[in-house]
Amino acid sequence: MEVLLFLIPVALGLGALGLVGFLWSLKSGQYDDLEGARWRILDDDDVARPDGEASR
């Protein structure tokens, strides 16, 4: 059972990582516009076009 002494901190650490991630995303304003966020992912303006032309 000594393995628990090792596993519990690991489990808690992973959980805390998730919490820190959530608080960071909240602080950086990622929940301010839930409506827009689901569309922004489809927008690939930030990707350079391979042929260097402005439009398809």
Partner 1 sequence: MTVHMRDWDAFVTPAADGAVHMDLAVEGITCAACMGEIERGLTQLPGVLRARVNLTSHRLAVEWDAAQTPADLIVETLDRMGYRAHPFDPAAQRAREDRTGRELMRAIGVAGFASMNIMLMSVSVWSGNVTDITDETRDLFHWVSAMIALPAVAYAIRPFLRSAIAAIRGRRMNMDVPICIGVSLAVGLSVIQTLQSQHHAYFESATMLLFFLLVGRYLDHNMRGRTRSLAENLAALKAEVAARIAPDGSVREVPLSRIEPGDRVLVTAGERIPVDGVIDQGSSEIDQSLITGETALVAAGPGTRVYAGTLNAGGVLEVRVSTASGATLLDEVNRLLEAAGQAKSRYVVLADRAAAMYSPVVHAAALLTFLGWTLAGLGWQPSLIIGISVLIITCPCALGLAIPAVQVVASGLMFRAGVLIHSGDAIERLAAADTIVFDKTGTLTLARPELLEPYAAGDADLALAGRLALSSRHPLALALARATDATHPLPGVIETTGAGVEALHEGQLVRLGSPAFCGAPEHRVADVLSRHGDASLLALRIGEGPARLIPMRQSLRPDAGPVIRDLAARGYRIEILSGDRPGAVEAAAAALGIRDWRAGMTPADKIARLDALKAEGANVLMVGDGLNDAPALAGAQVSMSPVTAVHLSQAAADAVFMGDALAPVADALKIARRARAAMMQNLWISVVYNLIAVPIAVAGFVTPLVAAAAMSGSSLIVTANALRLRMGSGKPHEPR
Out of 3, 19, 48, 54, the residue judged to bind partner 1 by CB under 8 A: 19
Site pattern 20..49 for partner 1 (x: CB under 8 A):
--xx--x----xxxxxx--xx-xx-x----
Rounded (to 5) percent helix, strand, coil in the chain: 55, 0, 45
Count the site residues for partner 1 by CB under 8 A.
23
Neighbouring C-alpha atoms within 13 Å toward the C-beta of 32: 5
Return residues touching partner 1 (CB under 8 A): 1, 4, 8, 11-12, 15-16, 18-19, 22-23, 26, 31-36, 39-40, 42-43, 45
